[in-house]
Structure 1
């Protein structure tokens, strides 16, 4: 990207994150030069007001669309406002703000269309539960065998994409648990993908919504969706 500096937007989907969103937005505003968009996914708490007071632009969805719908809303905003790169991070404090330049560098250098932050590259210190690690390894095998990509962290929600993928994802993005499905879409576009090592932590506040039952549901649903998307045609 030559000439004018690229316009970079950090997109944060947030649902009931009033206890963590303010600190995250303030950290982004203090430690990065990027614009910050919080997509409030129908929260009933003070997520939106706290994010706005901390310095983010806030889009309020009228109801809870789920993670895929919230992130796609961020892509639509980025496309319509002419951003060159989107960085997507969680609103619960799991992702390290200081690692954002690492996911941006290959895109800004023109070496990748998408860069995914992996908690399994290098010595990141990540220790997940046994069910979570099993699920990640299952999806890693599914992605690697089906697409030919070699990924270590297929469920990572910490990534950056360029203008080409912003435009595509604005119209085509998985609605529920989208990270694994997104690999099929990138494969269909022959997108160049890279992984970089990042740090990930336990939730700073609140509790994960993924119970043991939902973990099984997640694996079955994502697997079926992944296989369907592998044969689906996009206009």
Structure 2
């Protein structure tokens, strides 16, 4: 029987209120998975907590944003020879009880990427109304530009196989990257599936995307998706 190496990538920025509970849950209840925390130059006590508890982590010397943090995790996964990488947030929104379900289709060779989706069975925290409108818009835009329908395009709860560990280690959007990562995957002919999960509101702290930033987010990501699609073939030459 072949044992696959599976890594949990946890990007963290100013998660002093959440990170210990998140990681202790993994260590005590899901020891079959390895993990790495990417501390994105937090300005609070996140680094001290990671060091005090001897958690496996990487401290970035400057703040790279969520995309840079996640890409660092993929670079680590590639260097260490992992077969599957699972992204989960450090704020407690993502329940690890879904790990085995999310990776099952990858293990069986049915999918390259599996996204944990709030919007299939619509249980648990569904985000705010304005964000759901924006998510639906981006979902339709991605369907138009690359032919893939993904409902929960901003979900940071996802798993990828070895092929996309390699791809994302080399190229990953730096600012609000989740929708762009889907377009990237689609352009590389990924088999993308969604699996219904239940998400919670963050345990503590504040989201990096305020209501004001939501408008900026929509404009920036929409333009980035269109530009990525237009320039993809040129960048491969």
Work out whether the TM-score is over 0.5.
Answer: yes
How far did residue 34 of structure 1 move?
0.4
Q: How far 1:155 sits from its partner (Å)?
A: 0.6
User: 8 Å contact 1:135–1:219 — kept in the other structure?
Assistant: yes
Aligned to 1:183: 182
Is 1:16 equivalent to 2:20 in the alignment?
no
Determine the structure 2 residue equivalent to 1:36. Answer: 35
Give the 3-state SS of the residue equivalent to 2:9 in structure 1: strand
Structure 1 position 182, deviation (Å): 1.0
Partner-residue secondary structure (3-state), 1:170: helix
Q: Deviations over 1:47-101 (max 9, x none)?
A: 1332354453100000110000000000000000100000000000111111111
Whole-Å Cα distance in 1 between the matches of residues 159 and 71 of structure 2? 14
8 Å Cα contact 2:16-2:44 kept in structure 1: yes
Q: Corresponding residue for 2:112?
A: 113
Distance 1:52 1:12 in 2: 15
CA contact (8 A) 1:92 1:203 kept: yes
Gaps of 5+ in 1: none
* Structure-1 separation of matches of 2:51 and 2:141: 39
CA distance in 2, matches of 1:111, 1:55: 37
1:157 partnered with 2:167: no
CA distance in 1, matches of 2:10, 2:98: 15
| Residues 149-172 of structure 1: CA deviation (Å, up to 9, x unaligned) | 121101100000000000011111
Task: Find the counterpart in structure 2 of residue 65 from structure 1.
Answer: 64
Q: Secondary structure at the match of 1:126?
A: coil
TM-score, normalised on structure 1?
Answer: 0.95
User: Which structure 2 segments of 5+ residues have no match?
Assistant: none
Aligned residues: 233
Q: So what's the TM-score if we normalise by structure 2?
A: 0.94
Q: CA deviation at 1:140?
A: 1.1
Kindly indicate whether the alpha-carbon contact (under 8 Å) linking 1:48 and 1:58 is maintained by their aligned counterparts in 2: no
Find the residue that maps to 1:79 and give its secondary structure. helix
